[in-house]
Structure 1
Amino acid sequence: MGLYRLSASLEAHEQDVRALVSPDENTIVSASRDATIRVWRRGEDGGWSHTINYQSTGFINSLSFDQSAGLIVSGGADKLIVLTDPDLVLGEPKGTLIGHSANVCSLDYAYDLIISGSWDKTAIVWSQGQPLYHLKGHAASVWGVKILSPTEFLTCSADGTVKMWEEDKLISTVKSHTDVVRDLLLLKDGYASCSNDETIRIVRGSKETVLRGHESFVYSLALLPDGNIVSCGEDRTVRIWTPQGVCVQVLTLPSISVWDVTVQSNGDIVSGSSDGIVRVFTNDPARYASPELLREFNESVENSTISQQSMDNIEKEKLPGPEALQQPGDQEGKVIMIKTASGVVEAHQWTENKWTKIGEVVGSSSSGKKQEYLGKKWDYVFDVDIKDGEPPLKLPYNANENAYIAAQRFLADNDLPNTYTEEVVRFILQNTGGVSLSEEQPVPVANPYADREPVNTESSSTLLPQKAFVTFETFKIATLEKGLDRLNSQQEVKLSEEQVEEIKGALQTMNVKILMSYAEKIIGTWNTSGKLLGFDLLRVSIGKSEEFPDNLFEMIRLGFELIDQSSAITMMTYRCLCNIFSNKWWGEVVTGDETILSEIFALANLEKMVNSEKDTHSAAVATLFLNYSILYQKTKSAELYQALLELFSEVGSKVKSEEALYRLTVAYGTLTFPKKLPLPLWVKELKKYENQPRFAELLKELE
Structure 2
Amino acid sequence: MASPNSYKLSCSIPGHEMDVRGLSAAFFPDGAFVSVSRDRTGRVWVPNASPDRGFTEMHCMTGHQNFVSCVCIIAPSDTYPRGLIATGGNDHNICVFTLDQPQPLFTLKGHKNTVCTLSSGKFGTLLSGSWDTTAKVWLNEKCMMTLQGHTAAVWAVVILPEQGLMLSGSADKTIKLWKAGRCEKTFTGHEDCVRGLAVVSDMEFFSCSNDTSIRRWLVTGECVQVYYSHTNYIYSLAVFPNGQDFVSTGEDRTLRIWKQGECQQTIRLPAQSVWCCCILPNGDIAVGASDGLIRVFTEVEDRMASPQDLQAFEDELSKTTIDPKTGDLGDIKMEDLPGRDHLDEPGNRDGQTRLIKEGQKVEAYQWSVADSRWMKIGDVVGGSNQQTSKKVNYEGKEYDFVFTIDINEGGPSMKLPYNVTDDPWLTAHNFLQKNELSPMFLDQVANFIIENTKGHTLGAAPPSAADPFTGKATGSTSAIGGGAYSSAASRQTSTNIYFPKTDGVTFEQANATQIMAKLRELNGGAPGEYRLSEEVLGSLEKLLVSVCDPCASEQPTTEQISLLWKTSHWPEDIVFPVLDILRLAVRHPQVNESLCGGDADDGVALCNHLLSLMKPQARPANQMLALRTLCNCFSGWRGRALLLAQREAVLSRAADLCSVCNKNIHIALATLVLNYAGSLHGQPDLEAKAQCLSVASAALESVQDKEAVFRLLVALGTTVASDQTAQDLAKSLGVTSQIAKYTSVTDPAKVGECCQLVLKELQ
| Rounded Cα–Cα distance in structure 2 between residues aligned with 1:177 and 1:7 | 34
| Rounded Cα–Cα distance in structure 1 between residues aligned with 2:320 and 2:300 | 27
Shift in CA distance, 203/248, structure 1 to aligned 2, threshold 3 Å: same
Shift in CA distance, 361/106, structure 1 to aligned 2, threshold 3 Å: same
Residue type matched to 2:266 in 1?
Answer: V
The equivalent of 2:114 in structure 1 is 103
> Deviations along 1:174-229, whole A, 9 cap, x unmatched?
11110010000111351110000111111245342111111110000001234311
Residue type matched to 1:21 in 2?
Answer: S
The equivalent of 2:642 in structure 1 is none
| Rounded Cα–Cα distance in structure 2 between residues aligned with 1:405 and 1:225 | 41
| Rounded Cα–Cα distance in structure 2 between residues aligned with 1:161 and 1:200 | 13
- 8 Å CA contact 2:214–2:227 kept in 1: the answer is yes
- 8 Å CA contact 1:270–1:278 kept in 2: the answer is yes
Residue type matched to 1:190 in 2?
Answer: E
The equivalent of 1:674 in structure 2 is none
- 8 Å CA contact 1:97–1:130 kept in 2: the answer is yes
> Deviations along 1:594-642, whole A, 9 cap, x unmatched?
xxxxxxxxxxxxxxxxxxxxxxxxxxxxxxxxxxxxxxxxxxxxxxxxx
CA drift at 1:152: 1.1
Residue type matched to 2:65 in 1?
Answer: T
Whether 1:131 aligns to 2:143 is: yes
The equivalent of 1:328 in structure 2 is 346
Whether 1:14 aligns to 2:17 is: yes
> Deviations along 1:256-295, whole A, 9 cap, x unmatched?
1100000111101000000000111111111111111111
| Rounded Cα–Cα distance in structure 1 between residues aligned with 2:425 and 2:314 | 34
- 8 Å CA contact 1:107–1:117 kept in 2: the answer is yes
Shift in CA distance, 280/67, structure 1 to aligned 2, threshold 3 Å: same
The equivalent of 1:302 in structure 2 is 318
- State which drifts further: 254-263 or 301-310: 301-310
* SS of structure 2 residue aligned to 1:173: strand
- 8 Å CA contact 1:225–1:265 kept in 2: the answer is no
CA drift at 1:357: 1.4
CA drift at 1:236: 0.7
CA drift at 1:143: 0.7
Q: How does 1:331-370 map to 2 (within 5 A)?
A: 331-340=349-358, 342-352=359-369, 353-363=372-382
- 8 Å CA contact 2:31–2:281 kept in 1: the answer is no
| Rounded Cα–Cα distance in structure 1 between residues aligned with 2:89 and 2:163 | 25
Residue type matched to 2:312 in 1?
Answer: E
> Deviations along 1:218-260, whole A, 9 cap, x unmatched?
0000012343110000011000012x42011111111111000
Residue type matched to 2:339 in 1?
Answer: G
Shift in CA distance, 306/406, structure 1 to aligned 2, threshold 3 Å: same
| Rounded Cα–Cα distance in structure 2 between residues aligned with 1:115 and 1:55 | 20
Shift in CA distance, 150/53, structure 1 to aligned 2, threshold 3 Å: farther
Residue type matched to 1:357 in 2?
Answer: K
- 8 Å CA contact 1:185–1:191 kept in 2: the answer is yes
| Rounded Cα–Cα distance in structure 2 between residues aligned with 1:27 and 1:360 | 36
The counterpart of 1:271, out of the listed 269, 287, 290, is 287
CA drift at 1:432: 7.9
The equivalent of 2:180 in structure 1 is 167
Whether 1:199 aligns to 2:213 is: yes
Whether 1:291 aligns to 2:314 is: no
* SS of structure 2 residue aligned to 1:325: helix
| Rounded Cα–Cα distance in structure 1 between residues aligned with 2:135 and 2:6 | 38
| Rounded Cα–Cα distance in structure 2 between residues aligned with 1:234 and 1:62 | 17
* SS of structure 1 residue aligned to 2:350: coil
The equivalent of 1:692 in structure 2 is none
CA drift at 1:413: 8.1
The counterpart of 2:93, out of the listed 58, 75, 80, is 80
Higher strand share: 1
* Larger RCO: 1 or 2 (CA < 8 Å, sep 6+): 2
CA drift at 1:331: 3.0
| Rounded Cα–Cα distance in structure 2 between residues aligned with 1:201 and 1:56 | 33
The counterpart of 1:147, out of the listed 136, 143, 159, is 159
Whether 1:58 aligns to 2:63 is: no
| Rounded Cα–Cα distance in structure 2 between residues aligned with 1:315 and 1:220 | 33
The equivalent of 2:234 in structure 1 is 218
When normalised by structure 1's length, the TM-score is: 0.52
Shift in CA distance, 420/355, structure 1 to aligned 2, threshold 3 Å: farther
The equivalent of 2:562 in structure 1 is none
For structure 1, the 5+ residue unaligned runs are 365-394, 396-402, 436-491, 493-703
| Cα RMSD, aligned residues only | 3.2
> Deviations along 1:553-604, whole A, 9 cap, x unmatched?
xxxxxxxxxxxxxxxxxxxxxxxxxxxxxxxxxxxxxxxxxxxxxxxxxxxx
- 8 Å CA contact 1:236–1:252 kept in 2: the answer is yes
| Rounded Cα–Cα distance in structure 1 between residues aligned with 2:377 and 2:336 | 20
Shift in CA distance, 150/74, structure 1 to aligned 2, threshold 3 Å: farther
Shift in CA distance, 202/309, structure 1 to aligned 2, threshold 3 Å: same
Shift in CA distance, 358/420, structure 1 to aligned 2, threshold 3 Å: farther
| Rounded Cα–Cα distance in structure 2 between residues aligned with 1:338 and 1:252 | 18
CA drift at 1:78: 1.2
Shift in CA distance, 419/130, structure 1 to aligned 2, threshold 3 Å: closer
When normalised by structure 2's length, the TM-score is: 0.48
* SS of structure 2 residue aligned to 1:416: helix
- 8 Å CA contact 1:54–1:84 kept in 2: the answer is no
Shift in CA distance, 286/410, structure 1 to aligned 2, threshold 3 Å: closer
| Rounded Cα–Cα distance in structure 1 between residues aligned with 2:138 and 2:285 | 29
> Deviations along 1:435-475, whole A, 9 cap, x unmatched?
9xxxxxxxxxxxxxxxxxxxxxxxxxxxxxxxxxxxxxxxx
* SS of structure 1 residue aligned to 2:430: coil
The equivalent of 1:38 in structure 2 is 43
- 8 Å CA contact 1:179–1:197 kept in 2: the answer is yes
Q: Matched residues, percent identical?
A: 38
| Rounded Cα–Cα distance in structure 2 between residues aligned with 1:39 and 1:86 | 8
- 8 Å CA contact 1:13–1:34 kept in 2: the answer is yes
Whether 1:254 aligns to 2:261 is: no
Shift in CA distance, 409/256, structure 1 to aligned 2, threshold 3 Å: closer
Whether 1:313 aligns to 2:334 is: no
Higher Rg: 2
Shift in CA distance, 405/134, structure 1 to aligned 2, threshold 3 Å: closer
| Rounded Cα–Cα distance in structure 2 between residues aligned with 1:210 and 1:412 | 28
CA drift at 1:157: 0.3
- 8 Å CA contact 1:411–1:417 kept in 2: the answer is no
- 8 Å CA contact 2:114–2:131 kept in 1: the answer is yes
> Deviations along 1:108-145, whole A, 9 cap, x unmatched?
01112110000110001112222222110000111111
Shift in CA distance, 164/289, structure 1 to aligned 2, threshold 3 Å: same
Question: How many residues of Structure 1 are paired with residues of Structure 2 in the alignment?
Answer: 391
* SS of structure 2 residue aligned to 1:62: strand
> Deviations along 1:526-562, whole A, 9 cap, x unmatched?
xxxxxxxxxxxxxxxxxxxxxxxxxxxxxxxxxxxxx
Shift in CA distance, 178/412, structure 1 to aligned 2, threshold 3 Å: closer
* SS of structure 1 residue aligned to 2:360: coil
Shift in CA distance, 347/420, structure 1 to aligned 2, threshold 3 Å: farther
Residue type matched to 2:67 in 1?
Answer: F
- 8 Å CA contact 2:63–2:104 kept in 1: the answer is no
Whether 1:3 aligns to 2:3 is: no
Residue type matched to 1:65 in 2?
Answer: I
Shift in CA distance, 267/361, structure 1 to aligned 2, threshold 3 Å: same
| Rounded Cα–Cα distance in structure 2 between residues aligned with 1:248 and 1:420 | 45
